[in-house]
Amino acid sequence: MVEFEADLPADANALDADRLTASKASSDVSPRSAGCVLALHNVTKTFGEVRALRGVDFELLEGEVHALLGQNGAGKSTLVKIMSGVHQPDGGSLEVHGEPVSFFRSPAEARRAGLAVVYQELSLVPSLSVSANIFLNREPSAMGVVREGEILQLTRRLLERYDFPLDPKALVGTLPFARRQMVEIIKALAGNVRVLILDEPTSALMKGEEEVLFDAISRVTRRGVGVIYVTHRLREVFRLSQRITVLRDGQGVGTFSTSAMNMKSLVSAIVGGASVVGGKATSASDDEREQRLPEPVARVEASDAGGKEGAPYLELRGITNDKLHDIDLKVAPGEIVGLAGLLGAGSTEILETIFGLRRISRGEVRVKGKRVRSRRPADAIHMGAGLVPDDRAVNGLVMAHSIDSNVALPSLGLFTRLGWYLRRSAISRTRRAMSDLSIKAPGPATTVGSLSGGNQQKVVFAKWREPRPELLLLNEPTAGVDVMAREEIYATIRDTAQAGTAVLIASSDFEELMRLCDRFLFVVDGRIVHSATHSEVGTEERLNSLVHQQRDQLWEGAQA
Amino acid sequence: MTEFEQALDDGRLASRLAARVVTLAALAGRFKIYLVFLLIAAGFAITSPVFLTPTNWLNIGRNTALVSIVAVGMTFVIISGEIDLSVASVLALSGMTGAMAMAQFDNQWYWGVAAALATGAICGLLNGLLTTRLAVPSFLITIGTMSSVRGVAMLVTGTVAVPIISDPYNLVFGGGYVAVLPVPIVWTVIVVVLGILGMHYLSFGRKVYATGGNANAARYSGINTGTIKTLAFLISGLCASLAGIVLCATTQAARPDFASGMELDVLAAVILGGTSLFGGKGTILGSILGSLMIGVLNNGLTLLGVNSSAQQVAKGIIIIAAVSLAREGGFRLVRRK
C-alpha cells in the first residue's frame, strides 16, 4: 500500500493541526506526479445483474474542488465507495500521486492513505462531546488514561483553524443537524488528509451555514488537499468547483472545466437527451418532460396575486405552544404557501403542530371554517391532511420494509375490510403511484432502503396520493434529491395544488420556494413576522435578504 | 398490441422476474439455517432408529407446545420493537389463578380458563402500559414484572402446589387427544393459525411491523404506536396464560415455580426463526420452526444418550452457530446501495 505521506505517526500528535501543515509542506511529491493526487482508470463494477460502473475515469488534482455529478443511480455513490475502499471494483486501476497502487481494501486502509469521506449519513456518537467525537478511537492517552485536556486543546486549535463555530464541549446530540455535519467534516480533517470526499454536504444546511462550509472547503484546498464534491445542487458547483465530472448510467460523460459550462449545458450533460431521462417509457409524454426539464424556471404565474381569495381550507388563529407564538395563517385550496425562515425558526414546528404531532396550548385550528381539534396525526389524516416530514429516514419511511408497505401506512383503513388487510389492492395502488411519480424500482415489493434518495422521497410522496389530500404539508420536500427527481417532485406538487389541494411548504432552499409558492410567510423565532406574495418578493436573492432582514429586525427589537 | 407496448410489457416482465430472483435469493439465505437443521436431523435419523417414528415426532410436538404457544405472543412483541421477559412468570401465575379459581368455584373448568386468561391479559396490559406510558424500555419493565409476577404466584399459595380436579379441564387442555394428536399440539396449531392471521393478514399486523420498523414513520403516518405496542403485550400475556393452562392441565396441578427460565427458550426460538430483535422483521411461522428446531435438538441428543448437562452445552453452541448463520450480514448477493 502506498501512502500519501511516508511518515504517518499513529499517535494522536499526528492530528495536531500545526504539524499537519508542516509535514505537508515538506512532503516530497515526486515531480512527475505533481498535481494529480488520485486517478482512477477504466473502473468497472457490477452488482448482480446491474452494471453500476462501466469503465469510468476520474482524476483529482491537488488543491482543486472537483464536482462529481449525475442523477441518482448514475454511479456516483459506487465510485465514491470504490475510492474509499467500501467496494472492490471488478476492473480498472488506481494511481495515487502517479504511482499505480491496488485499490483500497477497506475504508480504514483508504483513511490511512489520506482519503477521508464525509457521508450524508453522519457517523457521530450523539452522547459524546464534539471533541470526544473528533478524537474517537485515537484519543491521546498516557498509560491508558485519556488526556482530556489535550483533546480539548487540540480540538480548539482545529476549530479555530477552520473557523468552525462549535463548542468543543457541547454534546453532539444537542446540536442541530448542520452543526453535526461540521463536526463530521472537522473530524475528517483531523488527520493527514490529502483527499476529502464530501457526499452531498449541503443537503441539510441553511444558507448562512453553507458559506461557512464553502469557506472551510477553500481553506482545505489552499493546503493542497483535493476535494471531491458530490452534490445535486448545481449552483454550488459553479460557486465552488474548478472541474466537473459527470456520470450517466455508470459511464463517464466527461470531465469539464467549470468555467466552460453553464447551467443549461451542465443539466443536459447530467440528464442526457431529454428522452432518456424518465428511464423506461412511462406514460408521460416526452414532450411534456422536455418542457419542464432543462431550464425549468417557468412557474405557473396565473394564480398569483389574489387569484385564490376563496375561503381558506385551513386557518390557524393565535396558535401557541412551547415553540410557537400566536401563529395566524391561512391556506386556500389550490394555493401553495411557503414558510420562509432559517434553520430552527419554527417552520417545522408549524407543520408538526398542524399535523397533531405537537400539543397546542392556546389558539384554534379551523378547517373549512369549522373549528377542529386534532390531537394526533390520525385526526389530521382523517380531516384530509398529509405530511412529508423533513427527514425521510427518521420520520418518513420504514427503510427495511417494501414500497407497498410504506405507501399503504397512512391509509391502512382504506385497505381493510373487517380487519382483513387487502394486500392486493394496496399493491395495485402502489403500482399506480409508482408509475405516476416515476419511481424507479423493480416492483412494489422492493425494499425502500435499497432505493436512491430521490426515489425514496417519491415514495414518501406516494403515501399521500390517493385519496388526494385536502392539505399537503411539505417539510424540505427535495432534500438530498437529484435534479431530475426534484423537477418531477415539483411537477407533482403543482399538479396536486392545481387539483385543489392546499399546500404549505417549509424549505431552507429559497430557490425552491420561489419556484413553487404563490405566497410567503416569514418565520422567525416561532412567530410569523411578515407575509408577501410571489410578485412582491420577485427574486430568490430578495427572498433570502428578506428572511435575514426579518430576523435581524426582530432580534434588534428584542434587544431595544 | 403495438411494438412499443410489447416492449413495455417485456420490460415489466423482466423487472418482475428480477424481483422474483431477488426474493428467491433472499429465501435461500433465510433457509440456510433450516438446511443446516435438516442435516442435523438427518444425522439423528441415521444414528437413532427411533428418531423418525411418528410417536417420536408427536413427542417433539408435545414437548415444544408450550414454547411454541408463548413464542407466538413473543413474536408480536418483538416485531413491535419491544421484548417481554415476563412470559414464564405470567405463565406460572395464570396457571395458578386458574387452578385456584376452580378450587374456589366447584371445580368448574370454565372458571379456571377465564381466571387464567384474565390474569394473562392483565399482566400483558400492565407490561404494555408501563412500557409506553413510563417510556422505560420494555427490557427493564419486564425484568421487573418477571420478578413481581413470579412473586405473586408464590405469595397467593404460600409456595405450595394446587391440584386440579376438573377432568374436562385436564382432558381438553392436557391429556386428551384429537384423533392421534395430543391436545397440546392442537392448541399450538390453533394459536399459530390465529397468530399468522393476526400478523400477516390483518391490518393490525401491518401496524405492528411499521411500529417496530420505524416508530417515528408509523407515528407520522397516523398510527398510535403506544396502542399497538400495548396490544402486542396483551397478546403475549394471553399466549402465556394459555400455555399456563396447558401445562397445569397436563400435570393436573399448578405450581408457582412452573416454567422458570422458559423466557430464554422462547427468545431463542423466536430469534432462530429469523425475527429481528430490533423489531420490524420476522414471521410467526419462523418462530414455530425455531421452537421445533430446539425441540428436535433436545430430542435427538436425548436419543443419542447425551446426558442433560452435555445437552445444554451442545444446545447453546448450536443455537449460537445457527443464529450467526442466519444473521443478515452473512448473506449478501444482490443487495445494491
At residue A19, the pLDDT reads: 37
- CB-count burial class (<10 Å; 0-12, 13-18, 19+) for A475: buried
Nearest to B83 by CA among B145, B175, B4: B145
Nearest to A73 by CA among A444, A406, A488, A441: A441
Q: What backbone torsions phi and psi does residue B49 show, to the nearest 5 degrees?
A: -70, -25
* List of chain A residues whose C-beta atoms are within 8 Å of the C-beta of residue B281: 400
Specify the 3-state DSSP secondary structure of B89.
helix
Nearest to A422 by CA among A435, A434, A413, A431: A413
Specify the 3-state DSSP secondary structure of A362.
strand
Minimum mean pLDDT among A72-76, A294-298, A532-536: which range? A294-298
Pairing of strands B162-163, A527-533: unpaired
State yes or no: pLDDT of A389 exceeds 90. yes
Q: How confident is the model over B208-229, as a mean pLDDT?
A: 94
Pairing of strands A226-230, A65-69: parallel
Q: Which residue has the higher pLDDT, B91 or A193?
A: B91
Confidence of residue A304 (pLDDT cuts 50, 70, 90): very low
Note whether B221 contacts A377, CB cutoff 8 Å: yes
Residue of B nearest to A383 (CA): B222
Q: Please, are residues A351 and A475 in contact by the beta-carbon 8 Å criterion?
A: yes
Minimum mean pLDDT among A174-178, A323-327, B177-181: which range? A174-178
Buried b (16+ CB within 10 A) or exposed e, A246-274: bbbbbbbbeebebeebeeeebbbbbbeeb
Distance CA B49, CA B332 (A): 39
- Interface-testing mutation among A379, A397, A409, with chain B (most B C-beta atoms within 10 A): A409
Note whether A420 contacts B222, CB cutoff 8 Å: no
At residue B22, the pLDDT reads: 59
- The residues, any chain, with a CB within 8 Å of residue B169's CB and separated by 6 or more, are B102, B109, B112, B113, B245, B249
* List of chain A residues whose C-beta atoms are within 8 Å of the C-beta of residue B19: 442-443, 445-446
Confidence of residue B14 (pLDDT cuts 50, 70, 90): low
Q: Which residue has the higher pLDDT, B94 or A394?
A: B94
Task: Select from A50, A380, A421 the Cβ nearest to the Cβ of B336.
Answer: A50
At residue A291, the pLDDT reads: 37
HEC states along A26-76? HCCCCHHHCCEEEEEEEEEEEECCEEEEEEEEEEEECCCEEEEECCCCCCH
Helix spans in B80-108 (H): 87-104
Buried b (16+ CB within 10 A) or exposed e, B112-124: bbebbbbbbbbbb
Minimum mean pLDDT among A48-52, A149-153, A512-516, B284-288: which range? A48-52
Distance CA A375, CA A91 (A): 57
Q: Which residue has the higher pLDDT, A470 or A544?
A: A470
Asked if residue A100 has a cis previous peptide bond (ω within 30° of 0), the answer is no
Q: Which residue has the higher pLDDT, A296 or B146?
A: B146
Confidence of residue B21 (pLDDT cuts 50, 70, 90): low
In 10 A of CB A176, how many CB atoms? 12
Residue of B nearest to A45 (CA): B336
Pairing of strands A502-507, A336-340: parallel
- Tell me how close the Cα of B81 comes to any Cα of chain A, in angstroms: 13
- CB-count burial class (<10 Å; 0-12, 13-18, 19+) for A169: exposed
Mean pLDDT for chain B?
87
Residue of B nearest to A447 (CA): B335
Residue of A nearest to B207 (CA): A409
Q: What backbone torsions phi and psi does residue A527 show, to the nearest 5 degrees?
A: -125, 150
Q: How confident is the model over B59-64, as a mean pLDDT?
A: 93
Note whether A442 contacts B4, CB cutoff 8 Å: no
Q: How confident is the model over A313-320, as a mean pLDDT?
A: 92
At residue A308, the pLDDT reads: 45
Minimum mean pLDDT among A290-304, A404-418, A534-548, B82-96: which range? A290-304
Prediction ipTM score: 0.79
Nine-digit cell string for A384: 384530509
Distance CA B243, CA B71 (A): 10
* List of chain A residues whose C-beta atoms are within 8 Å of the C-beta of residue B222: 376-378, 380-382, 409-410
Residues A367-387 have pLDDT tens digits of: 988 898 878 999 999 989 999
At residue A33, the pLDDT reads: 41
Task: Select from B15, B19, B280 the Cβ nearest to the Cβ of A398.
Answer: B280
Q: Which amino acid makes up residue A23?
A: S
- Tell me how close the Cα of A369 comes to any Cα of chain B, in angstroms: 23
State yes or no: pLDDT of A203 exceeds 90. no
At residue A287, the pLDDT reads: 38
Percentage of chain A beyond pLDDT 90 is 33
State yes or no: pLDDT of B70 exceeds 80. yes
Confidence of residue A483 (pLDDT cuts 50, 70, 90): confident
Q: Which amino acid makes up residue B84?
A: D
- Using a CB–CB cut-off of 8 Å, the residues of B that contact A are 4, 7-8, 11, 15-16, 18-19, 22-23, 201-207, 209-210, 213-214, 216-224, 280-281, 333-337
- Tell me how close the Cα of A378 comes to any Cα of chain B, in angstroms: 4
Mean pLDDT for chain A?
81
Q: How confident is the model over A216-220, as a mean pLDDT?
A: 78
Percentage of chain B beyond pLDDT 70 is 88
At residue A120, the pLDDT reads: 61
Task: Select from A396, A397, A443 the Cβ nearest to the Cβ of B15.
Answer: A443
Q: Please, are residues A465 and A436 in contact by the beta-carbon 8 Å criterion?
A: yes
- Tell me how close the Cα of B96 comes to any Cα of chain A, in angstroms: 34
* List of chain A residues whose C-beta atoms are within 8 Å of the C-beta of residue B209: 398, 401, 405
Nine-digit cell string for B140: 427493564
- Tell me how close the Cα of A412 comes to any Cα of chain B, in angstroms: 7
Q: How confident is the model over A286-298, as a mean pLDDT?
A: 37
Confidence of residue A213 (pLDDT cuts 50, 70, 90): confident
Q: What backbone torsions phi and psi does residue A350 show, to the nearest 5 degrees?
A: -60, -50
Task: Quickly tell me which residue has 417433539 as its cell.
Answer: B60
All domains of chain A in start order, with CATH? 314-398+467-559 (3.40.50.300)
User: Cα dist. A528→A320, A387, B38 in Å?
Assistant: 12, 20, 67
* List of chain B residues whose C-beta atoms are within 8 Å of the C-beta of residue A409: 206, 210, 217-218, 221-223
State yes or no: pLDDT of A297 exceeds 90. no
Q: How confident is the model over B96-103, as a mean pLDDT?
A: 94
- Using a CB–CB cut-off of 8 Å, the residues of A that contact B are 47-50, 52, 77, 81, 280-281, 355, 357, 376-378, 380-382, 387, 389, 394-401, 405-406, 408-410, 412-413, 415-416, 419-421, 442-443, 445-446, 450, 463
- Interface-testing mutation among B22, B219, B221, B228, with chain A (most A C-beta atoms within 10 A): B221
Residue of B nearest to A72 (CA): B337
Report how many Cβ contacts below 8 Å link chain A to chain B: 110
Domain parsing of chain B, residue ranges:
32-327
Residue of A nearest to B211 (CA): A398
The dotted CATH code for B32-327 is 1.10.3470
* List of chain A residues whose C-beta atoms are within 8 Å of the C-beta of residue B17: none
Q: How confident is the model over A136-152, as a mean pLDDT?
A: 80
HEC states along A488-552? HHHHHHHHHHHCCCEEEEEECCHHHHHHHCCEEEEEECCEEEEEEEHHHHCCHHHHHHHHHHHHH
Note whether B216 contacts A394, CB cutoff 8 Å: yes
Confidence of residue A36 (pLDDT cuts 50, 70, 90): confident
Nearest to A390 by CA among A487, A463, A475: A475
Q: Which residue has the higher pLDDT, B22 or A130?
A: A130
* List of chain A residues whose C-beta atoms are within 8 Å of the C-beta of residue B224: 376, 378
Beta strand residue intervals within A124-248, DSSP E: 141-142, 145-146, 195-199, 226-230, 243-248
CA A289 to chain centre: 24
* List of chain B residues whose C-beta atoms are within 8 Å of the C-beta of residue A443: 15-16, 19
Q: Please, are residues B138 and B86 in contact by the beta-carbon 8 Å criterion?
A: no
Note whether A409 contacts B218, CB cutoff 8 Å: yes
At residue B195, the pLDDT reads: 96
Residues B232-246 have pLDDT tens digits of: 999 999 999 999 999
Note whether B202 contacts A421, CB cutoff 8 Å: yes
Task: Select from B213, B220, B337 the Cβ nearest to the Cβ of A401.
Answer: B213
- CB-count burial class (<10 Å; 0-12, 13-18, 19+) for A542: middle
> Facing residues of B269 across strands?
none
State yes or no: pLDDT of A518 exceeds 80. yes
**Range picked from A94-98, B3-7, B122-126, B270-274 for highest mean pLDDT:** B122-126
At residue B8, the pLDDT reads: 54
User: Cα dist. B130→A317, B76, B86, B87, B209 in Å?
Assistant: 37, 17, 13, 15, 21
Confidence of residue A324 (pLDDT cuts 50, 70, 90): very high
At residue A307, the pLDDT reads: 42
Buried b (16+ CB within 10 A) or exposed e, A6-42: eeeeeebebbbbeebeebbeeeebeeeeebbbbbbee
Confidence of residue B15 (pLDDT cuts 50, 70, 90): low
